[in-house]
Amino acid sequence: MTSQFSTYTKEELIKKLKKQKTFAFIQGFLVLLMIVFAVFSTIEKGISFQTFLPLFFAPMFFVMLYEAKKIKKELLLRK
């Protein structure tokens, strides 16, 4: 079974991996900030929408990490 990245060249994969890592770092930082603000908001005002907001964005972060792992795997297969 071929992967979705098998049509990319090695240079494109390296570029995509770098971009994916950068976006994952930024999104991870934002999810962490949302968690911190959600905790403080919950302490101050009780449970609200802000309490659950990080739960909506955390899965996207994990998908980005999984995609980066798949790109790394494809790069290792090409060496």
Give me the pLDDT at residue 16, please.
Answer: 94
Farthest CA pair distance, the chain: 54
Overall pTM > 0.95? no
Interior angle at CA 57, CA 11 and CA 36, nearest 5: 115
End-to-end CA distance of the chain: 19
DSSP 47: S
Give me the pLDDT at residue 11, please.
Answer: 92
Give me the pLDDT at residue 2, please.
Answer: 64
Structure tokens belonging to residue 24: 């994952």
Least confident of 6-10, 63-67, 72-76: 6-10
Give the pLDDT confidence of 44-73 residue by residue, as tens digits: 999 988 889 999 999 999 999 999 999 999
